[in-house]
Amino acid sequence: MEGKLIVSSSPHIRVENTIQKVMLDVIIALLPATVGALYYFRLNGAKIILLSVLTAIISEMIFQKIRKQPVTINDLSAVVTGLLLAFNIPASAPWWIPVLGSMIAIIVVKQFFGGVGHNFMNPALAARIMLMISYTGRMTSWVKPGVDARTTATPLSFVKGMTEIPSNAPKIMDMLFGNIGGSLGETSAILLILGGIYLVYRGIISIQIPAVYIGTVAVASLLYGQFNFEFMIYHLLAGGLMLGAIYMATDYASAPVTPKGRIIFALGCGILTSVIRFYGNYPEGVGFSILLMNIAAPLIEKYTSPRVFGEVK
């Protein structure tokens, strides 16, 4: 027998992408919104972002050194987690909020479950919800962009329990460009969308989850608002929908990988977000919805995985 059959373990098709390259692309995509946060919230925004990112890096390094594991801060995943967490914190928060949140995200949600790729829910989002439940007042004290830092209400508060937009609510153009109160990354929808287009272009995320998620909320808002298109657009631009749908629901580790699974996952996120926004006590539902669907992701994958060729029952 002249030729030899060589059998190797999977994967058999390899790409040049690494965790570091993927995370670098995510950071690049978040740069427009980061610049927007710094422009609108000045030093307060810079403080939140810096403390959140530095704490995430230091927490991961110290934890891995204590566990005598290889230090992986060079893969930039901790930077992405810290940046996303900062985007979920209001500019008025005290310094210890981003510090505590980053420690929870990295140590409890990420490292306790095995590190990057093993977390069963989005670390930044889980930390945001824990902070929200524990320190509701601190996490819901939004300020209006500018140097005077006057307190204001989030846009969703104006339409809670309503089917039309009141005259004193923020204008849609202000919501599009970010001149509204809210968390650092929940203000300018257009800057988040620009980053999302970059991620889709680079092949970092699939458009399935953001499109189905946002589309579901759009349909639900249109029905709830009795086909008021302005009301629908308002709900799409308000709150953390763009941030959650583009950057958090698409997390590799906590979202399904099958095409059908992604659609079911995003549909569930959209339905839950709409139900909480329209009927819940809290005006926003993005964070809770994504975390609930993160928990359901393994079950979704189980029933949407394609049948192996030749498999029989």
Under 8 Å CB-to-CB from 22, ≥6 apart: which residues?
204
pLDDT band at 309 (very low <50, low <70, confident <90, very high): low
**CATH code at 289?**
1.10.3430
* 261 in a structural domain: yes
> Which tokens in the block code for residue 48?
């939140």
Over 60: is that where the pLDDT of 188 sits?
yes
Residue 156 belongs to some domain of the structure: yes
Higher pLDDT, 268 or 115: 268
Of 36 and 181, which is predicted with more confidence?
36
Q: Which residue has the higher pLDDT, 312 or 77?
A: 77
What is the longest distance spanned by two Cα atoms in the chain?
84
pLDDT at 97 over 80: yes
Q: Does the pLDDT value for residue 3 go beyond 80? A: no
- Does a structural domain hold residue 11? no
Q: Is residue 12 part of a domain?
A: no
Q: What per-residue confidence (pLDDT) applies to 175? A: 85
pLDDT at 11: 59
Instruction: Please state the pTM of the whole predicted model.
Output: 0.89
CA distance 123 to 300: 20
N- to C-terminal Cα distance for the chain?
A: 37
Q: How many CB atoms lie within 10 A of CB 215?
A: 15
Average pLDDT, the chain: 88
Per-residue pLDDT at 182: 79
Calculate mean pLDDT across residues 70-75.
Answer: 90
Range of the domain at 208: 19-302
Q: Is residue 56 very low, low, confident or very high in pLDDT (cuts 50, 70, 90)?
A: very high
Ranking 26-30, 33-37, 139-143 by mean pLDDT, the lowest is 139-143
* Number of compact structural domains in the chain: 1
190-225 pLDDT, tens digit per residue, is 999 999 999 999 999 989 999 999 999 999 999 998
Asked, for residue 309, whether it belongs to a domain, the answer is: no
pLDDT at residue 150, rounded to an integer: 62
Asked if residue 310 belongs to a domain, the reply is no
